[in-house]
């Protein structure tokens, strides 16, 4: 059997200061990896051993400096990249009410940030036959007008990921996508509260019908990512792993 140890692996997880990213950082650390993470706002509660780099990935310059500092920290190599950082807000009045700058910001933070970071780190990942996981969203399977900007950006991320996975496979680099459903995190809790308030329903109603009986927690997603970056998944690339408690069963993938 192949074990799932990440001992000796060098990993970058974007947006690892809270929510899903923080759980992924903890999962990779527990597997033995050395981990770098990043956000716009520094925090003082990162687990011991995590190396923090401040960067705004909503700009290409932020991605460039993050990539350079990550490679400097790891001595030039990288084995695992998890593009998790994203941000945004709901617009309950619908797609037509979303201002131009929010469409651009969604593209930058929820799609192009992953493109920029990956492009800059690709030579190092190719050297080590690394593994990449991009975090999308189950909003790409649903229709939520209040999140049209974010859904469009994540849909672009999924198509880009599929394309790049095919390109990189012959060179030994694997790239997979994890698609979370409703997971309790600081960022998403606010979005769900805004959607519930606009609809006049309690926020609990959004996750009440989840077939597996509860909303998600960040470790649900981190476990999936931990598997996909490990050698246990050495013959898996180009996939989209839906982790949503069954909420999207029946919707087209
Ligand atoms: N939670 C859910 O229900 C859910 C569902 C589907 C998909 N997702 C996806 O899961 C991922 C994590 O979401 P989450 O719910 O854990 O969000 P979260 O609680 O808001 O955490 C987001 C993390 O990304 C960082 N970040 C945001 N914008 C950034 C930027 N421009 N540059 C650098 N870092 C940035 C944040 O730190 P700073 O704000 O300090 O920069 C934070 O560390 C995202 O890709 C999201 O789209 C989440």
Considering the candidates 52, 111, 150, 160, report the single residue annotated as catalytic: 150
137: pLDDT confidence band, cut at 50, 70 and 90? very high
CATH of the domain at 166: 3.40.50.720
Residue 60 lies in a domain: yes
In this prediction, residues 224-239 reach a mean pLDDT of 98
Residue 252 lies in a domain: no
Averaged pLDDT of the chain: 96
> What span, in angstroms and rounded, lies between the C-alpha atoms of 28 and 34?
8
Which atom belonging to ligand 1 lies closest to the Cα atom of 57? Answer: 32
Residue 74 lies in a domain: yes
Interacting residues of 243 by C-beta distance below 8 A, sequence separation 6+? 178, 179, 180, 181, 216, 220, 221, 224
Interacting residues of 12 by C-beta distance below 8 A, sequence separation 6+? 35, 36, 37, 38, 66, 70, 78, 80, 81, 82, 117, 121
3 state SS of 125 = helix
Residue 250 lies in a domain: no
Assigned token pair, 110: 């929820």
Looking at residue 1, its pLDDT comes to 74
Residue 3 lies in a domain: no
- 150 part of the active site: yes
Looking at residue 162, its pLDDT comes to 98
Ligand 1, atom 6: nearest CA belongs to which residue? 137
Residue 236 lies in a domain: yes
Ligand 1, atom 25: nearest CA belongs to which residue? 15
Residue 100 lies in a domain: yes
Q: What are phi and psi of 199, to 5 degrees?
A: -85, -10
85 CA → ligand 1 middle, Å: 5
Domain with 190, as residue range(s), is 10-243
- First-residue to last-residue Cα distance in the chain: 31
Cβ atoms of 135 and 20 within 8 Å: the answer is yes
For residue 69, pLDDT beyond 80? yes
| Total of domains in the chain | 1
Q: Which residues have C-beta atoms less than 6 Å from ligand 1?
A: 15, 17-21, 38-41, 55-58, 84-87, 109-110, 135, 137-138, 180, 182-183, 185-188
Looking at residue 253, its pLDDT comes to 54
Residue 116 lies in a domain: yes
For residue 210, pLDDT beyond 70? yes
Counting ligand 1 atoms within 8 A of each CB, the residue from 22, 27, 39, 222 with the most, and so the one to mutate, is 39
What pLDDT digit, counting tens, does each position of 148-189 carry?
A: 999 999 999 999 999 999 999 999 999 999 999 999 999 999
Beta bridge partners of 131: 80, 174
Counting ligand 1 atoms within 8 A of each CB, the residue from 87, 155, 216 with the most, and so the one to mutate, is 87
Which atom belonging to ligand 1 lies closest to the Cα atom of 56? Answer: 32
What pLDDT digit, counting tens, does each position of 80-126 carry?
A: 999 999 998 999 999 999 999 999 999 999 999 999 999 999 999 99
């Amino acid at each position: 059997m192949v074990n799932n140890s990440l001992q000796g692996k060098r990993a970058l997880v974007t947006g690892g200061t809270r929510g899903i990213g923080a759980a992924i950082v903890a999962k990779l650390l527990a597997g033995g990896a050395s981990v770098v993470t990043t956000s716009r706002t520094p925090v003082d509660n990162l687990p011991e051993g995590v190396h923090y780099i401040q960067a705004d990935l909503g700009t290409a310059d932020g991605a460039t400096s993050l990539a350079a500092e990550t490679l400097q920290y790891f001595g030039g190599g990288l084995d695992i990249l998890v593009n998790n950082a994203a941000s945004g807000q709901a617009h309950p009045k619908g797609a037509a009410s979303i201002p131009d700058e929010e469409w651009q910001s969604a593209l930058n933070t929820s799609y192009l940030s992953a493109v920029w970071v990956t492009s800059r780190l690709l030579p190092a990942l190719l050297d080590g036959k690394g593994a990449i996981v991009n975090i999308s969203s189950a909003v790409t399977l649903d229709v939520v007008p209040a999140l049209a900007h974010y859904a469009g950006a994540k849909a672009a991320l999924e198509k880009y990921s599929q394309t790049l996975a095919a390109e990189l496979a012959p060179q030994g680099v694997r790239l997979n996508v994890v698609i979370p459903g409703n997971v309790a995190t600081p960022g998403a809790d606010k979005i769900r509260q805004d959607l519930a308030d606009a609809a006049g329903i309690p926020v609990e109603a959004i996750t009440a019908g989840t077939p597996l009986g509860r909303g998600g927690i960040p470790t649900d997603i981190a476990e999936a990512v931990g598997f996909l970056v490990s050698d246990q998944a050495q013959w898996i690339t180009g996939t989209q792993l839906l982790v949503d408690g069954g909420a999207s069963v029946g919707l087209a993938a």
